[in-house]
């Protein structure tokens, strides 16, 4: 374990983390050791997980303090607990920063994660479209005032609602109405997919599905779709069938904040409600937000607690406020554009070395590679790359013959590598590393002599050689250069 090193000549960031680890280590030395270990790991691997990033020291430090101890159920000025003066200031500032950043009329910054943000949004829409009109017909203000039989009717009405979202193999997310998630148990759901030829979103088929199925909610947004979505078109479809448009911009909110996605591609002016995580391309703390330009919806979103949330994490709301301030700068706009330029350079680098790109390219922060072009499954590619110092995740591709476990794809994202300063030239070297590993990997046989979907062969020389190339890239683009390597 590295000892205490706080010194006058170290940066304040180095000293902050060094002091912190010393304090933690006095109580549970193993945790201090694991925190140091995680930093070392992150500093020694090329992080291409599309949903991850590196938050700034200011964001990380804003989370580790006594705001963590405070209960504050409710909203600023309307709490169920006393003593919330400073939590109120934190939440108000975080919401204000979010509104300015996204040019939104309303922001709710309490959700603890993306899944929570989506749940808050679903219930806000149900409360707005199903509960509130029913209460009005019964001439009562609150669900507690309903007769038992009316309450039974309302509960059933919640369960009768329909929604449509992007299919999982086209790049959608589990929280968009799929059965393993609560959203799939709550809603009657149908999926829209992509065109089999172009692998891109087919707006005509979204329209046909919406006209036939008449959903209450249309969800747009994705986890693994390498293209932009035209939210103006999606809104037009929603309006034509009387549905509400919800956009989950968890993956690309950094590109919206950084003004890369504007006009028809900006969800805020086009959707009824927008949700996001704060830790992916937006580069904040782990958390969620809900935004809306529909002032009618605000009172329903505000009821996220107690609808699906308990007490907000005031320390994380503080970190969100810091992250939103960072994202309001022109430096962040430059960053967001570079994320997209880097993804394009990475995609071109892979394609020219024989990799097939799903949809033929990228318009956002992610690249989906069909690794069957290297004779591999996603599972084999993911592990071979990990052994060679490159961290990616396997991912289904549209109409994937290998299913959701082995998959035929890997998903690559550029937000993290762009944060540490990598350029388009670096992306060509990253593409070279990836393709040289995948070209040198071949499937092994199972015990029964068939081609394995998991086991593979890769010579140590290739993985060592590529680990060295990754190390060189990371030496030139270090993670947290302001934090000393000896903390
Ligand atoms: N929505 C989308 C589109 C996502 O990609 C994710 C996470 O991968 C989530 C929601 C859930 O976010 P969290 O892991 O913060 O709950």
Rounded-to-integer distance, Cα 199 and Cα 222, Å: 14
- The rounded mean pLDDT for the chain is 96
Burial (CB < 10 A; 0-12, 13-18, 19+), residue 3, is exposed
**Does residue 175 have its Cβ closer than 6 Å to ligand 1?**
yes
Residue 20 CB coordination number (10 Å): 16
Tokens read off for 486: 């000896």
Rounded to whole angstroms, how far apart are CA atoms 283 and 416? 9
Quote the percentage of the chain above a pLDDT of 70. Answer: 98
**Per-residue pLDDT reduced to its tens digit, 384-432:** 999 999 999 999 999 999 999 999 999 999 999 999 999 999 999 999 9
CATH number of 330-476: 3.90.1150.10
* 169/406 Cα distance (integer angstroms): 13
In the chain, list all ranges with CATH 3.90.1150.10: 330-476
Residue 486: per-residue pLDDT: 81
Report pLDDT for 6. Answer: 52
**Under a CB-based contact definition with an 8 Å cutoff, are residues 114 and 291 in contact?**
no
As a whole number of angstroms, the distance between CA 412 and CA 479 comes to: 19
Question: How many Cα neighbours within 13 Å face the side chain of 99?
Answer: 15
Q: Is the CB of 243 under 6 A from ligand 1?
A: no
| C-alpha of residue 277 to centroid of ligand 1, in Å | 6
Query: What is the rounded CA–CA span in Å between residue 275 and residue 119?
Result: 10
Residue 384 Cα to ligand 1 midpoint, Å, equals 26
**Pocket perturbation via mutation, ligand 1, pick of 115, 275, 366, 415 by most ligand atoms within 8 A of CB:** 115
Structure tokens that stand for 113 in this block: 């994660």
* Ligand 1 mean position, distance from CA 50 (Å): 11
Going from the Cα of 194 to the center of ligand 1, the distance in angstroms, rounded, reads 21
Residue 379 CB less than 6 A away from ligand 1: no
Q: What are phi and psi of 273, to 5 degrees?
A: -145, 145
- Closest C-alpha among 294, 279, 213 to residue 247: 294
Atom of ligand 1 at shortest range from CA of 51: 8
Strand order in the sheet with 273-277: 106-108, 288-292, 273-277, 244-248, 217-221, 162-166, 188-192
- Three-state DSSP at 228 gives coil
Spacing, Cα 117 to ligand 1 middle (Å)? 9
Residue 7 has pLDDT above 70, yes or no: no
In 3D space, the residue among 49, 58, 68, 120 whose CA is nearest the CA of residue 300 turns out to be 120
Q: Reply yes or no on whether the pLDDT at 9 is more than 80.
A: no
Whether residue 354 contacts residue 374, with contact meaning beta carbons closer than 8 Å, is answered with yes
CA–CA gap between residue 350 and residue 427 (Å, rounded): 10
Whole-number pLDDT of residue 18: 94
Give the helix/strand (H/E) hosting 445: strand 442-445
Reported as a single tens digit per residue, the pLDDT across 149-198 is: 999 999 999 999 999 999 998 999 999 999 999 999 999 999 999 999 99
Which among 112, 250, 289 is the best mutation to test ligand 1's pocket, defined by most ligand atoms within 8 Å of the CB? Answer: 250
Using a 6 Å cutoff on CB, does residue 365 contact ligand 1? no
Instruction: Give the closest residue (by CA) to ligand 1 atom 7.
Output: 114
Q: What is the whole-number distance in angstroms between the Cα of residue 67 and the centre of ligand 1? A: 25
What is the distance in A from the centroid of ligand 1 to the CA of 456?
31
Of 454, 432, 472, which Cα lies nearest the Cα of 382? Answer: 454
For residue 344, the tally of other CB atoms under 10 A from its CB is 17
pLDDT value of residue 8: 64
Mean pLDDT, rounded, for 245-264: 98
**Could you report the per-residue pLDDT of 77-99, keeping only the tens digit for each?**
999 999 999 999 999 999 999 99
Q: How far is the C-alpha of 379 from the C-alpha of 443, rounded, in Å?
A: 11
Residue in 41, 36, 44 with CA at minimum distance from that of residue 18:
36
281-324 pLDDT per residue, tens: 999 999 999 999 999 999 999 999 999 999 999 999 999 999 99
Q: Cβ–Cβ contacts within 10 Å for residue 236, how many? A: 14
pLDDT > 90? residue 2: no
Does 285 sit in the ligand 1 pocket, CB within 6 Å? Answer: no
Beta bridge partners of 162: 188
Kind of pairing between the strands at 366-370 and 273-277: unpaired
Closest Cα to atom 11 of ligand 1: 114
Q: Name the band, by pLDDT with cuts 50, 70 and 90, for residue 5.
A: low
Kindly state if the Cβ of 113 falls inside 6 Å of ligand 1. Answer: yes
Phi and psi torsions of 410, nearest 5°:
-125, 145
Q: Report whether residue 115 contacts ligand 1, using a CB cutoff of 6 Å.
A: yes
Alpha-carbon span 191 to 181, nearest angstrom: 15
Burial class (CB in 10 A: 0-12, 13-18, 19+), 425: exposed
C-alpha distances in angstroms, 225 versus 219, 229, 389?
14, 9, 25
Report, at the CATH architecture level, how domain 66-327 is classified: 3-Layer(aba) Sandwich (3.40)
Residue 277 Cβ inside 6 Å of ligand 1? The answer reads yes
Neighbours of 404 (CB within 10 A): 12
- Report how far ligand 1's centroid is from the alpha carbon of 118 (Å): 9
- With a cut of 80, say whether residue 3 has pLDDT above it: no
Task: Give the tokens for residue 56.
Answer: 């700034």
Shortest-distance Cα residue to atom 10 of ligand 1? 114
pLDDT tens for each residue of 445-455:
998 989 999 99
Q: Where in the chain is the domain with CATH 3.40.640.10?
A: 66-327
d(CA 128, CA 482): 48
Q: How confident is the model at residue 487 (pLDDT cuts 50, 70, 90)?
A: confident
User: CA 14 to CA 484: how far, in whole Å?
Assistant: 6
Q: What token pair was written down for 90? A: 């934190």
| Token pair in block for residue 484 | 């000393």
- 251 pocket-lining for ligand 1 (C-beta < 6 Å): yes
pLDDT of residue 275: 98
Q: Which residues are catalytic?
A: 71, 73, 248, 277, 280, 286
Residue 287 Cβ inside 6 Å of ligand 1? The answer reads no
Instruction: Please provide residue 309's backbone torsions phi and psi, each rounded to the nearest 5 degrees.
Output: -115, 155
**Does the Cβ of 280 fall within 6 Å of ligand 1?**
no
Q: Is the peptide bond before 43 cis (omega within 30 degrees of 0)?
A: no
Nearest CA to ligand 1 atom 2: 250
pLDDT per residue as tens digits for the range 326-337: 999 999 999 999
Instruction: Please list, residue by residue across 182-205, b when 16 or more beta carbons sit within 10 angstroms of its beta carbon and e when fewer do.
Output: bbbebbebbbbbbeeeebbbbbee
Nearest CA to ligand 1 atom 12: 114
Mean per-residue pLDDT for 203-226? 98
- pLDDT above 70 (res 24): yes
- What gap in Å lies between CA 262 and CA 260, rounded to an integer? 6
Per-residue pLDDT tens over the stretch 261-285: 999 999 999 999 999 999 999 999 9
Query: How far is C-alpha 411 from the chain's CA centre?
Result: 13
């Amino acid at each position: 374990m590295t000892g205490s090193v706080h010194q006058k000549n170290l940066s304040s960031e180095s000293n902050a983390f060094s002091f912190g680890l010393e304090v933690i280590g006095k109580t549970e030395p193993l945790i201090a050791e694991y925190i140091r270990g995680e930093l070392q790991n992150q500093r020694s691997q090329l992080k291409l997980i599309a949903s991850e990033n590196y938050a700034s020291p200011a964001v990380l430090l804003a989370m580790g303090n006594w705001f963590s101890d405070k209960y504050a159920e409710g909203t600023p000025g309307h709490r169920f607990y006393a003593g919330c003066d400073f939590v109120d200031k934190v939440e108000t500032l975080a919401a204000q920063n979010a509104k300015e950043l996204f040019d939104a009329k309303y922001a709710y910054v309490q959700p603890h994660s993306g899944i929570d943000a989506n749940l808050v949004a679903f219930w806000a829409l149900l409360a707005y479209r199903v509960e509130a009109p029913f209460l009005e017909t019964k001439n009562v203000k609150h669900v507690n005032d309903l007769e038992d039989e009316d309450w039974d009717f309302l509960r059933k009405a919640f369960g009768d609602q329909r929604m449509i979202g992007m299919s999982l193999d086209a790049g959608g997310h589990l929280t968009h109405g799929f059965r393993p998630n609560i959203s799939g148990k709550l809603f009657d759901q149908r999926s829209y997919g992509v065109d089999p030829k172009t692998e891109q979103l087919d707006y005509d088929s979204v329209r046909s599905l919406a006209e036939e199925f008449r959903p209450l909610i249309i969800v747009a947004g994705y986890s693994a779709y390498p293209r932009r979505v035209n939210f103006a078109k999606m809104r037009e479809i929603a309006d034509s069938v009387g549905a509400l448009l919800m956009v989950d911009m968890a993956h690309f909110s950094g590109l919206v904040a950084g003004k890369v996605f504007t006009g028809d591609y900006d969800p805020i002016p086009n959707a009824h409600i927008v949700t996001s995580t704060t830790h992916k391309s937006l580069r904040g703390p782990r958390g969620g937000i809900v935004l809306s330009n529909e002032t009618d919806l605000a009172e329903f979103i505000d009821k996220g607690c107690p609808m699906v949330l308990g007490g907000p994490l005031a320390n994380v709301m503080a970190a969100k406020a810091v992250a939103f301030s960072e994202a309001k700068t022109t430096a962040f706009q430059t960053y967001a554009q570079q994320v997209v330029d880097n993804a394009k350079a990475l995609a071109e680098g892979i394609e020219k070395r024989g990799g097939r790109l799903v949809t033929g390219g990228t318009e956002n922060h992610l690249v989906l590679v069909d690794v069957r072009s290297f004779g591999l499954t996603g599972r084999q590619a993911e592990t071979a790359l990990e052994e060679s110092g490159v961290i990616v995740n396997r991912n289904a591709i549209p109409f994937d013959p290998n299913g959701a476990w082995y998959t035929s794809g890997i998903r690559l994202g550029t937000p993290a590598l762009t944060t540490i300063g990598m350029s388009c030239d670096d992306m060509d070297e990253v593409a070279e590393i990836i393709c040289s590993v995948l070209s040198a990997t071949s499937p092994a046989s199972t015990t029964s002599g068939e081609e394995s979907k998991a086991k593979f062969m890769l010579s140590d020389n290739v993985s060592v050689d590529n680990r060295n190339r990754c190390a060189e890239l990371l030496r030139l683009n270090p993670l947290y250069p302001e934090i000393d390597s000896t903390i």
